Structure 1
Amino acid sequence: MKLKILFVCTGNTCRSSMAEYIFKDLAESDKYEVMSAGVSAVNGKDPAPQAKQIMSEKGIDISNHQTQKLTEDLVTEADLILTMTHQHKSSVLSMFNESEDKVFTLKEFVEDIEELTEITDEIDKIYKRISNRREKFLDEKGSKIERLRKRHQELIQEIGEVEDELNRLEGELSKEVADDKDRLDILQNKVQNLDISDPFGQPVSVYRQCAEELEEYIKLLLKKIE
């Protein structure tokens, strides 16, 4: 009987699919049945282009691979489940806790280090504790959170509608006062032309221009008052 091995990652588009095909390329096909899946995969997607390229460079064709989501049937049928990360392992155990004896990260299974096992066991306990606390919290606060999220979306929509109305009204006002604003701009420009520009904080060249402007207007003043 063939040993059924299941590689697991997130989307089954690169890591686990490459692991599947590399394993198939290296192992004797009559001894193993190898598959791959993703905990968040969408069924029927192609591998990532980068994965195709990398595998092609190794002489392995994965172009026919189609992604698949991890299911209870896949987990049940597998003799050994090897995940790409500890988070993937935790996800598998969270969804299918009866599979605990056959789920490992790939590195964990290969290295078989006692210290690593102790660490991963503790990590598993923490993840379970977090999951339990999250479930308990959502049981107690979930309905309130949903109400707040719904109200939040309503407020965002209301704010958007208010902003649209404000913009529309401001546009109407701008049209109402457009002629006066144009006239005001003309008059303000005339007033500004009567000013001696302030050179404070400007380069020396600006001070020079100011002095020349003063000289020009003082001459005109003198002509007027003489």
Structure 2
Amino acid sequence: MKTILFVCTGNTCRSSMAEAIFRNLIKDVKEYENVRILSAGTWATKGQKASGNAIEALKDKNIDLSSHISKPLTKEMVEAADLILTMTENHKMQILNVLPGSSEKVYTLKELAHGKANDINISDPYGQNIEVYKGCAEEIEAALKKIIEGKFLNNI
């Protein structure tokens, strides 16, 4: 079984939304039935619920994020993952500073979707209004759709 790991800071907004959106996008795609999807945060506190606005933002997409529980990123999670998609370049660099040997499997979400573009970060909506969260969810979903359509996951 292959593992895809989404990473942000607190695992209550971006990476949790990415995990849930990705799960929803691939739920009926046969080639992804044996893919495990996880999320974690570089500074996450174990056991936190997803942000209320993150939960609300995904309701419009008929995705239920209410049962999400945050997890801190561990060395073991990084080592076990086949692909790690971070929300920012900073998250990527934090992982590579600790485990430089993982560089071939760590990308920012937008980097994998769009290549080395100028804007490869997903902005942090934490503490902002619902419209910012909805915009963030749209940005994540657009990148994930591009990754799926481009068959960028076929080699994991």
TM score, norm. by length of structure 2: 0.69
Structure 1 residue runs of 4+, over 4 Å off? none
Q: Which has the higher contact order (CA 8 A, sep 6+)?
A: 2
Residue 22 of structure 1 aligns with which residue?
A: 21
Q: How many residues align?
A: 115
Counterpart mapping for 1:191-206 below 5 A: none
Q: How far apart in 1 are the matches of 2:78 and 2:71?
A: 13
Q: Which has the higher strand share?
A: 2
User: What is the aligned counterpart of 1:111 among 107, 110, 114?
Assistant: 114
Alpha-carbon RMSD across the aligned residues, in angstroms, is: 1.7
Q: 2:51 is aligned with what amino acid?
A: A
Deviation, structure 1 residue 19: 0.1
Aligned partner of residue 5 in structure 2, secondary structure: strand
Counterpart mapping for 1:67-86 below 5 A: 67-86=70-89
Q: Percent identity?
A: 44
Aligned partner of residue 33 in structure 2, secondary structure: coil
TM score, norm. by length of structure 1: 0.48
1:131-162 deviation per Cα after TM superposition (whole angstroms, max 9, x unaligned) = xxxxxxxxxxxxxxxxxxxxxxxxxxxxxxxx
Residue 63 of structure 1 aligns with which residue?
A: 66
Structure 2, unaligned runs of 5 or more: 121-156
Q: 2:11 is aligned with what amino acid?
A: N
Q: How far apart in 1 are the matches of 2:42 and 2:98?
A: 9
Deviation, structure 1 residue 26: 0.7
Deviation, structure 1 residue 59: 0.5
| Higher Rg | 1
